[in-house]
Amino acid sequence: MKSSSNYFSSLLFLCFLLFVSVNSFEELNNVKRSNFPDGFLFGAATSAYQIEGAFLEDGKGLSNWDVFSHTNGRIKNGDNGDIADDHYHRFQEDVELMHSIGLNSYRFSISWSRVLPRGGFGKVNFAGVMFYDKLIDSLLLKGITPFVTLNHHDHPQELEEKYGAWLNPIMQEEFLYFAQICFESFGDRVKYWTTINEPNMFAEMAYVRGVYPPARCTPPFGNCSAGNSDTEPLVAMHNMLLAHAKAAKLYREHFQARYGGLVGIVVHSFMYKPLMNNAYDRDAAYRAFVFTAAWVFDPLVHGDYPPEMRKYLLDTLPSFTSDERKLIKDSIDFMGINHYGTLYAKDCIYSTCVCSNSSCIAGGDHPIHGYLITLAEKDGVSIGEPTGMSRFFVVPKGMEEIVDYMTKRYHNKPMFVTENGYSSLNPTTAQADELQHDIKRVEFHKSYLASLAKAIRKGADVRGYFIWSLMDNFEWTDGYELKFGLYYVDRATLDRVPKLSAKWYRDFLTNSSLNGEETGKAISLKYAQAADHLSDK
Ligand code: NOJ
């Protein structure tokens, strides 16, 4: 009797599991544009240095990245952004590509050294301003809303050499001047402004690990000729936050009423899960969020750094004066989140952390990261499918979780997913054809969009989703090896070839039959056939 009741309860449980998994499978494969609110921005993103090229044309000055990428050994395969995707000369064609997919928005950045070749030391380069003028007009003609970033990792080299760039408070005024020129030149047509892209990632890469310019760091994080990994990232961030707040104030006081636009900032926002289900690792997962995303958002929403950062960093964390606190508090109209993946966090305060094997992503046992390490594996099992980027694993649920979390912590402030993307595995060994049949990228975006739709259904005020990236481009220290694009770019001819994902995005945006009621397998098959047509073209 007892065994038959056990049998029935197991059966019931199995049915339940089946029901849940069929449902989530259905949900994943049925994500539709209509699951998102009216007016939702569906776009793709790029940045100036990663696509423009023309690094010395029409009066452009040298940027920090121009100089850095020309330094031996800095970039994989000796690549650089001199030509990149030659977007400077092909922007009309690129706007056509966006239009053919049906994007209603395009996120790009303005090259500071194209507009102000010498920063505040020189004059405005009108040829540079004209370039963005034409780009913005071409987008608007096609009904594509420009979503503009002022600073995406690049600034005039002269500011680096004369001031030490973000380590110097003068950079706040330099940035303000650049922002003013952009608001004056393009403000009548640009309604979405973000000041700085991923200041948290930039601070980490440039001043903790020293792998982005100006390549400053100290052991154990890296071997640089100068720097201080414990303090400089904090100083650089402090200046970036104040620079943001000054530019936002300028926009709000002098442009917002006239033009009705919004100003925000973009933050690198991973989701973190406790490695073990205990209080220590739960707190480590919380600290991982605090020491990355909240490092930026807390000051700009609440008016100060998170208390946990102060607790562990003490006086090495700079302080805001009371006037500065007023300036930074509430200085964003929206939050831009770049979300790519999820990692485990392990506490290093109460337990010993050894961060030596390849699953150990960053760390550890160090105040600057909140005394924790982040890992991609638990008991030998990966947190998600790996991608071409060593820190990025496919964990679709993380999208819903990070949006839920941001929604709560920042009182449902409007949010845009300003980047989400998949980099192909084994891009060096794969053939061009394989890279263009990017079924995994299609599945990635479908599942992340389904997860985002769930968060929106629960009430999150998310207003847009931008795929990184419109086309394969210069992936910083990885050069052209890592590929995130919807379009494949032939490095010899610079021809843009639509991948399967470009076609899928187009069909998703037009609610075409390929996204209808079909199951994942059928879709994959259909897309494989569709891709054959694309490559026949
Ligand atoms: C975020 C950065 O904003 C972008 O420049 C970079 O290429 C992507 N992540 C992919 O790593």
* pLDDT tens track for 430-476: 999 999 999 999 999 999 999 999 999 999 999 999 999 999 999 99
Amino acid in the structure at residue 341: G
d(CA 159, CA 222): 24
Counting residues of the chain whose pLDDT is more than 90, the rounded percentage is 85
d(CA 502, CA 521): 19
d(CA 104, CA 142): 9
pLDDT of residue 512: 72
pLDDT of residue 11: 54
Q: 420 with 467: CB under 8 angstroms?
A: yes
pLDDT of residue 366: 86
- Asked if omega into 37 is within 30° of 0 (cis), the reply is no
φ/ψ of 466, rounded to 5, equals: -115, 125
Q: What is the DSSP string of 388-418?
A: SSTT-EE-THHHHHHHHHHHHHTTT--EEEE
d(CA 199, CA 52): 21
pLDDT tens digit sequence for 55-84: 999 999 999 999 999 999 999 999 999 999
d(CA 381, CA 392): 15
d(CA 194, CA 148): 6
CATH class of 36-341+393-536: alpha beta
- Of 419, 420, 423, the one to substitute when testing ligand 1's pocket (max ligand atoms within 8 A of C-beta) is 419
Q: 49 with 111: CB under 8 angstroms?
A: yes
Q: 250 with 176: CB under 8 angstroms?
A: yes
d(CA 28, CA 370): 35
Say what the alpha-carbon torsion angle 445, 410, 261, 127 is, to the nearest 10 degrees.
Answer: -60
CB-ligand 1 contact for 197 (6 Å cutoff):
yes
Query: How far does Cα 229 stand from its chain's mean position?
Result: 23
Alpha carbon of 469 to ligand 1 centroid (Å): 9
pLDDT of residue 353: 85
CB-ligand 1 contact for 475 (6 Å cutoff):
yes
d(CA 488, CA 414): 33
Q: 167 with 236: CB under 8 angstroms?
A: yes
pLDDT of residue 522: 45
CB-ligand 1 contact for 419 (6 Å cutoff):
yes
CB-ligand 1 contact for 289 (6 Å cutoff):
no
Catalytic (active site) residue 204:
no
Spans in the chain with pLDDT lower than 70 = 1-29, 355-365, 513-537
pLDDT of residue 527: 53
φ/ψ of 263, rounded to 5, equals: -130, 135
pLDDT of residue 533: 42
Alpha carbon of 153 to ligand 1 centroid (Å): 10
Q: Which of 52, 174, 198, 400 is catalytic?
A: 198
CB-ligand 1 contact for 47 (6 Å cutoff):
yes
Residue with structure tokens 């303000």?
Answer: 176
Q: 42 with 33: CB under 8 angstroms?
A: yes
Amino acid in the structure at residue 389: M
Helix or strand holding residue 308 (H, E): helix 307-313
Measured by CA distance, the residue closest to atom 11 of ligand 1 is 475
pLDDT of residue 230: 96
